[in-house]
Structure 1
Amino acid sequence: MSQFSESRGRAVPSQRLSRLWHLGRATGDLAAGIGVKGLIDLARTRAGGQPARIQLSAEHTRRFTDRLARMRGAVMKMGQLMSMDGSDIFTPEAAEIMSTLRERAEPMPLSQLARVLETEYGAGWDKQFKRFEFTPIAAASIGQVHRAETRDGRRLALKIQFPGVRDSIDSDIANLAMLGRSFGMAPKGVDIAPFLEEARRQLHREADYDAEAEAMESYRAWVGEDRDFYIPAVHRDLTTRNILAMDFAEGVPVDQLAGPDYRRAERDRAATLLMRLTLRELFEFGLVQTDPNFGNFLYDATSGRIVLLDFGATKAVAPELVAHYRQLGVALLANDRAGMRAASIALGYVGAHDPDEHIDSMMNLLALASEPLCKPGQYDFGVSDLFERVYHRGRALFHSGVFSTAPAPDTMFLHRKFMGSFMLARRLRARVELSDIARSCLV
């Protein structure tokens, strides 16, 4: 068995007070980076109902992200989500550094890892394995992944949760809410409490590896023996609430197809398959893997299949919500403004009694966002500036304060998945006949 030294990882803060201390240090770095003048400006923009704009130096941003990366857990997960739209809150330079949270997390030291393994598998746990690689092959916000081989020859990937992460979720979310209020990161009049509550529930589910194993098996049953996709099997005898054991799968992160070693045809095919899968998840499975991290998809060049990983963020979608999205999709394809209006009211995008001009603004935004769905033939994501156009128009509407309602918190994770699929297709510079895919899934 290979080992790594204590210096290769720092312990995950697992007690509430220690996590509060680390978050306080991170907040201190943030406040120091903003300065007195910046704090006054934030207070002014908050009072005026405008979005906050944080001016951070590169050094203070690195300190802030280092602290979040060391904490792991809900704090790091929310930092990752915040960094996806960092240009709205941070300067471009700070947003670039914040984006590193999506690719980094520190592994836990060997002593902490050993305690987790002994707690979950018992004394003498290593006797079950022919080989266990102590150096993790991946680390994220909630856990890290190790390769192993059992005595009976099974080649596995073991996803091992950082200690204390589950118990810290509630306090982390509460502390983040306090931080958001302090820095005015939501516009005046917008109640973010329901969205933080939905995030809290989702994070608890992500931290329950028994639940993830069930979601993985349910999803695997929907996909079946597919020539285009592979979902590793769960090994229940080695799976606990804090360790998820699954088949080890070969492959490279799918976004590497954007590199010079792969042909355009491979990029187009991968993006087409994943776009079709995104729509099937919602309209056929009613079960959506909502984490847009590119690392959750591997490309196996030998078989040509895409490996699907990480089902902790999988959500079952209520049939009535699916029906509302189907109604909206059909209306968008037909340019049916009355149908778009009815579906938008049902989804909570607009209120039934909002002024017509406000509803028209939302209809125009939805029509713009549906450009890839409605444009006949191939849509070239590589040259599209749609994300920027939707982002800036949507941001202006969001902060305008003209709407009387907000969509159900459940939609937040669906939007996250839709955006992630779009960004992956753009990363691959892919051309996809999305209109045909949409019609086949909706009609």
Structure 2
Amino acid sequence: MTTNASSTGLAVPSRRLGRLWHLGRATTDLAAGIGVRGMIDMARNGGRTDGRIQLSPAATKRFTDRLARMRGAVMKVGQLMSMDGTDVFTPEAAEIMATLRDRAEAMPMSQLNRVLTSELGRDWNKAFRRFEFQPIAAASIGQVHRAETRDGRRLALKIQFPGVRESIDSDIDNLGFLARNLGMMPKGIDPQPLLDEARVQLHREADYEAEAASMMDYRALVGEDADFFVPRVHADLSTSRILAMDFADGVPIDRLADGRYRQAERERAATLLTRLMLRELFEFGLAQTDPNFGNFLYDADSGRIVLLDFGATNTIPSTLAESYRLLSRAALEDDAAGLRQASVQLGYIGEEDPEDKVAALIELIRLSSEIFAADGPYDFGTSNLFERVYTRGRDLFLDDAFTRMPDPSSMFLHRKFVGVFMLCRRLRARIDFRDMLMPYLSARDQCAS
């Protein structure tokens, strides 16, 4: 057993008032880092041309350190903010925000031992020939340890932070409190349906037995694929708070952007994951909806992409897939009536919404569809589409153009779509999304219900 490394992190705050205090401190750090002028710019753009938030590296570090200490739902929000911070933050601040994708503070050794003893029994160590106490990864809900069993299996054990599952409800309530009282939502929009869906999703992510089932279902759909590898679940060492799976070699997929990899390798990886996203929507009826880049590893030796973390796996009703098929077809044909029909089905707009607001939202969808309206490969490396969509969407937000929340069940698909396209941007890939999409637009009812 490897014992020369140790976890020295701080315990997870679990009481609601304590977590609200930490969340309030994080918000204060963010506001202080932006400053008065920055807050005004955030509210009305302040004459800036690039629309980026000027957040100092010191303030960003204080903010991310606070979220890393909290783990749980609020860290999930911070991770989403960091997916491609270059669109919103200065490059210096974005670099620090990006650390949230790869780390949370590890739990103290005493907590780790208590979890292992509680879940696997007092003699848990007898199952292993080697157990590395220093985690190889730590995220918002748990941390991962490498181990080898007595019978020679090389495993990765995802071990849940104590208190995180119990803190989900208080985190969501606290985020709702801030959303309603700090002007974070457009007038007239109730964030509660989205918060309720997030609550359900996070409780699902914290149930490792449910994740194990989703992982096995997804592995069956992918099958023996030459391009993808889904690790096997090892049920004898898995519980509701520990998930044991095959250990897989590889580096986080966004590392392909660091210059050591060829353009062809980057574009192959981006194309594979984009095609997989379409298969999830139109063939599988099942999607892994957490776009954290760390959930995808690239094994340079085999060329395969390892798919990890199935806690945020959602089924996709055939009716929802059909609405996205209609939206995509209408965008390609520049069919305003079709765009409106699909937008109503998806809950973006209502049947009786004012025409000026409908027109503004339809135009935003048209702008977003630039990726697959291109004739030939779309060059994410030179595109500034994300900045344009962000700026236009922010302006509509501030003008109260958003009158309703989309169907909460579709919000997690949006997270997946944006995450994949942000990865394409990170890898500076050129991909022919239109060519990949076209076969799905002429067929109906392909998605499993």
* Stretch of structure 1 that moved more, 358-367 or 101-110: 358-367
| Deviation by residue 1:175-199 (Cα, 9 ceiling, x = unmatched) | 1222333432223333222212211
Q: Deviations over 1:161-213 (max 9, x none)?
A: 00010000001111122233343222333322221221111111111101111
- Report the Cα distance in structure 1 between the residues aligned to 2:253 and 2:20, rounded to whole angstroms: 36
Question: Is there any run of 5+ residues in structure 2 with no aligned partner, and where?
Answer: 45-51, 443-449
Deviation at 1:251, TM superposition (A): 0.9
Cα distance in 2 for partners of 1:405, 1:434 equals 29
Alpha-carbon separation, structure 2, partners of 1:289 and 1:363? 28
How far, CA to CA, are the matches of 2:356 and 2:163 in structure 1?
50
Partner of 1:119: 118
1:229-308 alignment to 2 at 5 Å? 229-308=228-307
Residues 363-402 of structure 1: pairs in structure 2 closer than 5 A:
363-402=362-401
AA matched with 2:398: H
SS at match of 1:244: strand
User: CA 1:260–1:209 in structure 2 vs 1: closer, same or farther (change >3 Å)?
Assistant: same
Deviation at 1:79, TM superposition (A): 2.2
* Inter-partner Cα distance in structure 1 for 2:39 and 2:301: 57
- 2:188 is equivalent to residue 206 of structure 1: no
Displacement of 1:277 in angstroms is 0.5
Aligned-residue offset at 1:65 = 2.3
Cα offset for 1:244? 0.5
- Structure 1 residues 335-344 or 88-97, which shifts more? 88-97
Deviates more, 1:392-401 or 1:206-215: 392-401
Contact 1:297–1:307, Cα closer than 8 Å, also in 2: yes
Identity across matched positions, percent: 66
CA change 1:285–1:401 in 2 (3 A) is same
**d(CA) in 1 for partners of 2:182 and 2:255?**
37
Residue 224 of structure 1: CA displacement? 0.9
Which amino acid is the alignment partner of residue 227 of structure 1?
A: A
How far residue 434 of structure 1 moved from its aligned partner, in angstroms, is 1.0
C-alpha distance in structure 2 between counterparts of 1:357 and 1:25, whole Å:
40
> For the structure 1 residues 337 and 7, does the alpha-carbon distance in structure 2 shift closer, same or farther, using more than 3 Å as the test?
closer
Which deviates further from its counterpart, 256-265 or 305-314? Answer: 256-265
Secondary structure in structure 2 of the residue aligned to 1:383: coil
What is the distance in 2 between the residues matched to 1:174 and 1:69? 19
Question: Is 1:339 the equivalent of 2:338?
Answer: yes
Query: Which amino acid in 2 is paired with 1:19?
Result: R
**Cα drift, residue 55 of structure 1:** 7.6
| AA matched with 2:258 | G
- Flag the 1:89–1:376 CA change in 2: closer, same or farther, 3 A: closer
| Letter matched to residue 8 of structure 1 | T
| Aligned match of 2:103 | 104
Alignment size in residue pairs: 436
Q: CA deviation at 1:3?
A: 2.6
Matched, 1:11 2:14: no
With the length of structure 1 as denominator, give the TM-score of the two structures. Answer: 0.90
Q: Within 2, Cα distance between the matches of 1:21 and 1:375?
A: 48
Asked if residue 222 in structure 1 is aligned to residue 237 in structure 2, the reply is no
Check conservation: 1:5, 1:110, Cα contact below 8 A: no
Aligned to 1:155: 154
Measure how far apart 1:435 and its partner are. 0.8
Secondary structure in 2 aligned to 1:315?
strand
CA distance change for structure 1 residues 196 and 325 in 2, over 3 Å: closer, same or farther? same
Contact 1:5 1:109 in 2 (8 A): no
The TM-score, its normalising length taken from structure 2, stands at 0.89
Q: Distance in 1 between matches of 2:228 and 2:7?
A: 38
Bigger drift between 87-96 and 346-355 goes to: 87-96
- With over 3 angstroms needed to count, the CA separation of the structure-2 counterparts of 1:216 and 1:337, relative to structure 1, is same
Change (3 A) 1:6 1:22: farther
Write the letter of the residue equivalent to 1:343.
A
Q: For structure 1, list consecutive stretches of 5 or more residues without a partner in the other structure.
A: 46-52
CA separation of 1:40/1:31 partners in 2, compared to 1, >3 Å: closer, same or farther? Answer: closer
Structure 2 counterpart of 1:401, one-letter code: D
Instruction: Determine if the alignment matches structure 1 residue 419 to structure 2 residue 418.
Output: yes
**Equivalent pair of 1:4/1:110 in contact (CA under 8 Å):** no
Alignment partners' CA distance in 1, 2:37 and 2:370: 39
Indicate if the aligned counterparts of 1:6 and 1:111 stay in contact, CA closer than 8 A: no
Q: Secondary structure, in 3 states, of the residue corresponding to 1:429? A: coil
User: What code does the residue aligned with 2:244 have?
Assistant: A
Tell me the distance in 2 between the aligned counterparts of 1:411 and 1:323.
Answer: 12
